[in-house]
């Protein structure tokens, strides 16, 4: 079944650690996005990509980085995690720019 998969679902790490949040989709979509969301709060776009080797920063400034080497894969990396990075990170994809977004189940990150 076509879906968006995120791993890990939950991660607790110490300050200064490097982490990568994985996102893969079998939707066949070119457009992929990362949103940062505190529980029940606003969705903040932090990165997006419209295709392989194309990445852009979103509306909310983030210290994370992304890459898009394969169409189906859009990982997010934090080189040195801090407690301020504690949040939920949602990956999404769409068939067209501005079209319906399909979200993954999210990765809940806690930095101690």
Which residues of the shown chain bind other proteins in the complex (CB under 8 A)? 33, 40-43, 45, 48, 90, 94, 96-101, 103-106
C-alpha to C-alpha distance for 5 and 107, rounded to whole angstroms: 10
Q: How far is the CB of 74 from other proteins (least distance, A)?
A: 15
Which C-beta is closer to other proteins: that of 17 or that of 27?
27
8 upstream amide cis, omega within 30 of 0: yes
The alpha carbon of 66 is separated from its chain's Cα centroid by a whole number of angstroms, namely 8
**Euclidean distance between CA atoms 65 and 89, whole angstroms:** 13
Minimum gap (Å) between residue 16 Cβ and other proteins = 29
Among residues 31 and 85, whose Cβ is nearest to other proteins?
31
Min dist. Cβ of residue 102 to other proteins (A): 8
Dihedral of the alpha carbons of 73, 48, 52, 89, in degrees to the nearest 10? -10
| Residue nearer to other proteins on the CB measure, 17 or 22 | 22
């Amino acid at each position: 079944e076509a879906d968006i998969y995120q791993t890990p679902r939950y991660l607790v790490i110490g300050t200064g650690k490097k982490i990568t949040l994985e996102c893969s989709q079998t939707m066949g979509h070119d457009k992929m996005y990362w949103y940062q969301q505190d529980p029940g709060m606003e969705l903040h776009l932090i990165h997006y990509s419209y295709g392989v080797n194309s990445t852009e920063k979103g509306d909310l400034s983030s210290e994370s980085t992304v890459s898009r080497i394969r169409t189906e894969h859009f990982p997010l990396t934090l080189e040195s995690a801090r407690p301020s990075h504690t949040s939920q990170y949602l990956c999404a994809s769409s068939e067209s720019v501005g079209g319906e977004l399909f979200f993954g189940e999210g990765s809940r990150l806690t930095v101690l």
